[in-house]
């Protein structure tokens, strides 16, 4: 009887411990979902925070209030090994060294404005020129280099709200522009970016995210072996300073034809300098539609791009030169990452035939882009 009682007691203890461990594991998994916040340093006299968004599958996206930067996106590959598919750094200091817009929110105007000048009605405006003779990505201190206010949306899973007010005259732009950006990591492994803005003076607005992707998760691998499809029958040719010449040309029979999926490296030698061009998306309205598919055979990862925007800037990391290093110390060289920036066309304020980017007082700027990841096993 003593033996039976001892055994029963031991069994009961074992069951109890197992129950507690299982409950602890379950609680831990549940607690991983949502958002956590970490102090990430200071700049411009302001605290900077890093938010970690985690979905039910354990996929993680980290976003900094400095620049609204997507610093990492950790996802599994076809062998369930996880790695980071975007360029970024583990510390704020990496971004203060001013890398070329890694993961950042870009504004007021993503892409280039010729000679930093444009007119609204009869008023001439002059912007900062920070890309040779042209204005690029909002100027010397665009939205990628300011500290955004942040709040967690408690009514949504893994949703971060960022806000910033760009004052009248900032970098030469007219009007006080109030911007709100909503990042959501869904349980379907989608990173949804919703942009909203209002102004008290007519001003050009063209917001985008400048994440650099390498689906292999390793910058030792070139993105020239990635396969890409873009739903665009036309593109906007550019001059030697990458300003559109005002024409819209067919991609048919050119190196710019991605209407059927092909390896990025197949025709890149026929594009002087590499791809850094705006593709005119084959859309009939402004609804959210799939516009591009990027895939990698090494990892099995596939990235779909959905947007409400009329254009997609496809950039093959032509100016990456090894100056910056990845987290593992490997140099970030040319063609080791690419950008798929949803947007309006470059230099639209100076091209009346392009879709307008002028936001008027009393109107709402609103657009959504979704990057959806999946794995082919």
Q: What positions carry a catalytic annotation?
A: 210, 341
Burial class (CB in 10 A: 0-12, 13-18, 19+), 27: exposed
Helices (H), the chain: 2-32, 92-96
Looking at residue 29, the DSSP 8-state letter turns out to be H
Considering just the CA atoms, what is the radius of gyration of the chain in Å?
A: 23
For residues 67 and 77, is the Cβ–Cβ distance under 8 A? no
DSSP per position, 118-146: EEETTEEEEPPP-BTTBEETTSTT-GGGS
Nearest C-alpha neighbor of 196 from the set 187, 211, 212, 183: 183
Structure tokens at 252: 């048919």
The owner of tokens 């690029």 is 136
CB neighbourhood size of 183 (10 A): 24
- By residue count, the chain amounts to 377
DSSP-based three-state secondary structure for 186: coil
Spacing of C-alpha 145 from chain mean position: 15
Torsion (CA) 335, 261, 60, 368 in degrees, nearest 10 = 100
Burial class (CB in 10 A: 0-12, 13-18, 19+), 196: middle
| DSSP code of residue 147 | B
Nearest to 196 by CA among 185, 182, 180, 208: 180
DSSP for 232-253, written as a single string: -SEEE-B-TTS-B-S--EE-TT
DSSP state of 45: T
């Amino acid at each position: 009887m003593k033996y039976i009682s001892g055994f029963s007691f031991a069994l009961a203890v074992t069951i109890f411990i197992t129950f507690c461990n299982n409950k602890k594991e379950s609680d831990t998994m549940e607690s991983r979902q949502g958002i956590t916040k970490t102090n990430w340093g200071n700049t411009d006299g302001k605290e900077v925070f890093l938010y970690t968004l985690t979905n039910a599958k354990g996929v993680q996206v980290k976003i900094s209030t400095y620049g609204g930067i997507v610093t990492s996106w950790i996802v599994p590959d076809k062998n369930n090994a996880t790695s980071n598919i975007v360029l970024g750094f583990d510390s704020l200091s990496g971004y203060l060294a001013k890398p070329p817009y890694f993961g950042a929110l870009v504004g007021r105007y993503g892409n280039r404005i010729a000679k930093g000048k444009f007119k609204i009605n009869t008023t001439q405006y002059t912007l900062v020129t920070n890309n040779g003779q042209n204005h690029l990505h909002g100027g010397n201190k665009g939205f990628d280099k300011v500290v955004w206010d942040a709040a967690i949306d408690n009514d949504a899973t893994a949703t971060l709200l960022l806000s910033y007010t760009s004052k009248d005259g900032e970098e030469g732009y007219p009007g006080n522009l109030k911007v709100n950006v909503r990042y959501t990591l869904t349980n379907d492994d989608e990173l949804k970016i919703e942009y909203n803005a209002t102004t008290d003076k007519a001003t050009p607005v063209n917001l985008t995210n400048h994440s650099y992707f390498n689906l292999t998760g390793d910058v030792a691998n070139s993105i020239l072996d990635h396969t890409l499809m873009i739903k665009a029958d036309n593109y906007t040719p550019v001059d030697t300073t990458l300003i559109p010449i005002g024409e819209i040309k067919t991609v048919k029979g050119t190196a710019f034809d991605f209407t059927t999926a092909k390896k990025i490296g197949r025709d890149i030698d026929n594009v002087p300098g590499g791809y850094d061009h705006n593709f005119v998306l084959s859309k009939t309205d402004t609804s959210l539609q799939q516009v591009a598919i990027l895939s990698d055979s090494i990892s099995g990862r596939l990235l779909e791009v959905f947007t409400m925007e009329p254009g997609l800037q496809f950039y093959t990391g032509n100016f990456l030169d090894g100056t910056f290093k990845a987290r593992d110390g490997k140099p970030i060289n040319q063609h080791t990452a690419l950008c798929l920036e949803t947007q309006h066309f470059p230099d639209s304020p100076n091209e009346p035939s392009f879709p307008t980017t002028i936001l008027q007082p009393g109107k709402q700027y609103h657009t959504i882009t979704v990057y959806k990841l999946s794995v082919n096993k």
